[in-house]
Amino acid sequence: MTEIKKLSMEEAMACANSLDLTKVDREAMHYAIFLSSVIWGGYIDGRLACIWGLIPPTILSQQAYLWLDTTDVVNGHEFVLVRHSQLVVEEMLKEYPSIVGHAIVDNHKAIRWLKWLGAKFGEPQGQGLPFRISAHG
């Protein structure tokens, strides 16, 4: 069974603490969680497959920065999670008409996932590939 649900900050922190991350990556995730206006967790059979959130630059912003981390649980379930993610993105775009972020240039799975969500990509900036998902295409 696949489920995507909104997480409280406490639930998201517990998820982050359960991930196999370096100390620096765990601190970065804690910071992203703290800055996020909303956080979701994606679960397969009750196991965490992914966690993501939106960070608005200001409280009144019409744009938010998307961050995401996945676990090995996502392997083999990408299409189901993409469909669920598409529904969540529709909701996100109602609150933030523009969602931006960066994917790592070599992370082909993430880039494919973002394309399925409607992302348009800019020119690479070092190892980062900027993207935008817009309510208006």
pLDDT single digits (tens) 7-66: 999 999 999 999 989 999 999 999 999 999 999 998 999 999 989 999 999 888 899 999
pTM over 0.75: yes
Structural domains counted in the chain: 1
Over residues 111-119, mean pLDDT: 89
What secondary structure letter does DSSP report for 102?
Answer: E
Packed helices 108-116 and 78-95: angle between N→C axes, nearest 10 degrees: 60
Domain span at 22: 2-134
Packed helices 9-18 and 23-35: angle between N→C axes, nearest 10 degrees: 160
Q: Residue 70 belongs to a domain with what CATH number?
A: 3.40.630.30
Contacts of 104 (CB under 8 A, 6+ apart): 110, 127, 128, 129
pLDDT single digits (tens) 71-85: 888 788 777 777 888
51 neighbors 39 (Cβ within 8 angstroms): yes
Give the per-residue pLDDT at 137.
62
